[in-house]
Structure 1
Amino acid sequence: MSAADTPSSSAKSAVRKAADKSARTRAREFALQAIYQHLVGRNAPVDIDTFTRDLAGFHKADSVHFDALLHGCIAEAAAMDALITPRLDRPLAELSPIEHGVLWIGAYEFQHCLDVPWRVVLNECIELAKSFGGTDGHKYVNGVLHQLASQLRPAEVAASPATRGPSRKPAP
């Protein structure tokens, strides 16, 4: 085997990363792709669902979470947009469909997936934006969803150690 035949360490890392993805992470990835089809193509949710389930790798995704995200986001599109819009620095129509879809997923999970910690929702959405979105889209998603988390899960955000100020010991 020559050096050209051996996978590079970055290729090995990419394979390992793909293998390490949780079923819910995969569900979010497929849901984003499906939501994109809805936002761009205005395809019917049932058609999108059928098409997405036939994609390679879908069997490794949490299909229940995928269903909740896809059908929940589309059914509650107006409500998701109403939550997101006040936090935007531009009209909603100017968002990329990827950022729009990621924000829907984040808003939906903050409201309906209370078993998922807010930081996990935030981090997963940032990763989605990094993987599928534009160069700095993840920074925008982070800013919007962080504000949304403070509104939708105030007690959980307040209790999070990283969001509190530095701990100070009382003076002796």
Structure 2
Amino acid sequence: MATRHQVRQAVITLLYTHEMDTFNEDFASEYFAEQKIKNEQKNFAETIFGGVLENIDNIDEKINSYLSSFKLAELGAMERAILRLGAHEILAQTCEARVAISEAVALASEFGSTNGVKLVNGVLDNIAKDKNPVASAAVDTKEFYENLSAIQESLKPKEPRNSRIPKESGFKKSAKSGPASKTAPKKPPKRARKDDTRKDEK
């Protein structure tokens, strides 16, 4: 079963295809089935996807009010989709503002750049503070990237214990040679000393 983060990834994909004019209901159904998004999670995805489209003019206006040097239309389509989803979740209160921003920042780190992460974090935090001026909901991006690096490191495949060839060397084990031996190679026998040879001759 898909997680809420995977559901949001799917919604971002649908928003992107919708803006590219390649979206249709058959595509959405096939995509949900492929991503194993069904039942409650599918309803959640359809609700927030429909909510963004229904309120897109108000969402874009809110986002643009916190963009100074450029406007939403000048961003990449994927960043627009992430901002729209995050803004909708904050404004419609589908979840806590901190959760909405954290999810949007994670999506921006997966699909965008470092600058995109900062932009998404800053804009959505301003929208959240406008909605509820009591406290900031911004994500600590330094802490976020530290945690992200740790997660990515833990997901790296571990090298087999019996492999003595470093990955960067470019060498490969022969398919015919079979598995590498776990025992160390035997040392060659020592040469007999001259005096030992004489003793044998006697």
Query: What residue in structure 1 maps to residue 101 of structure 2?
Result: 122
What's the CA shift for 1:61? 7.8
Query: What residue in structure 2 maps to residue 3 of structure 1?
Result: none
What TM-score do the two structures reach when normalised by structure 2? 0.60
Residues 48 and 148 of structure 1: is their aligned pair in 2 closer, same or farther, counting only changes over 3 Å?
farther
Higher RCO by CA contacts (8 Å cutoff, separation 6 or greater): 1
Residues 145 and 57 of structure 1: is their aligned pair in 2 closer, same or farther, counting only changes over 3 Å?
same
Query: What residue in structure 2 maps to residue 81 of structure 1?
Result: 60
Whether the aligned pair in 1 keeps the contact of 2:90 and 2:97 (CA below 8 Å) is: yes
Q: Does 1:100 align with 2:51?
A: no
What 5-or-longer segments of structure 2 have no aligned partner? 140-202
Tell me the SS of whatever aligns to 2:65. helix
What's the CA shift for 1:24? 1.6
What's the CA shift for 1:51? 3.8
What TM-score do the two structures reach when normalised by structure 1? 0.69
Tell me the SS of whatever aligns to 2:35. coil
Residues 123 and 93 of structure 1: is their aligned pair in 2 closer, same or farther, counting only changes over 3 Å?
same
The amino acid across from 1:75 in the alignment is E
Task: Write out per-residue CA displacement over residues 51-75 of structure 1, whole angstroms, 9 at most, x where no aligned residue.
Answer: 4323233349822221121111111
Provide the rounded CA distance (Å) in 2 between the counterparts of 1:74 and 1:42: 15
Whether the aligned pair in 1 keeps the contact of 2:86 and 2:101 (CA below 8 Å) is: yes
Whether the aligned pair in 2 keeps the contact of 1:110 and 1:118 (CA below 8 Å) is: yes
Q: Does 1:146 align with 2:125?
A: yes
Q: Does 1:27 align with 2:7?
A: yes
Task: Write out per-residue CA displacement over residues 5-35 of structure 1, whole angstroms, 9 at most, x where no aligned residue.
Answer: xxxxxxxxxxxxxx9xx72212111101111
Query: What residue in structure 2 maps to residue 72 of structure 1?
Result: 51
Q: Does 1:90 align with 2:65?
A: no
The range that moved more, 33-42 or 47-56, is: 47-56
28, 37, 56: which is aligned to 2:17?
37
The amino acid across from 1:69 in the alignment is I
What's the CA shift for 1:43? 2.9
What's the CA shift for 1:38? 0.9
The amino acid across from 2:16 in the alignment is Y
The amino acid across from 1:49 in the alignment is A
Whether the aligned pair in 2 keeps the contact of 1:110 and 1:153 (CA below 8 Å) is: no
What 5-or-longer segments of structure 1 have no aligned partner? 1-18, 163-172
Specify the structure having the higher radius of gyration (Cα).
2
- List 4+ stretches of structure 1 deviating above 4 A: none
Whether the aligned pair in 2 keeps the contact of 1:23 and 1:61 (CA below 8 Å) is: no
The amino acid across from 1:108 in the alignment is H
Whether the aligned pair in 2 keeps the contact of 1:24 and 1:61 (CA below 8 Å) is: no
Provide the rounded CA distance (Å) in 1 between the counterparts of 2:122 and 2:86: 12
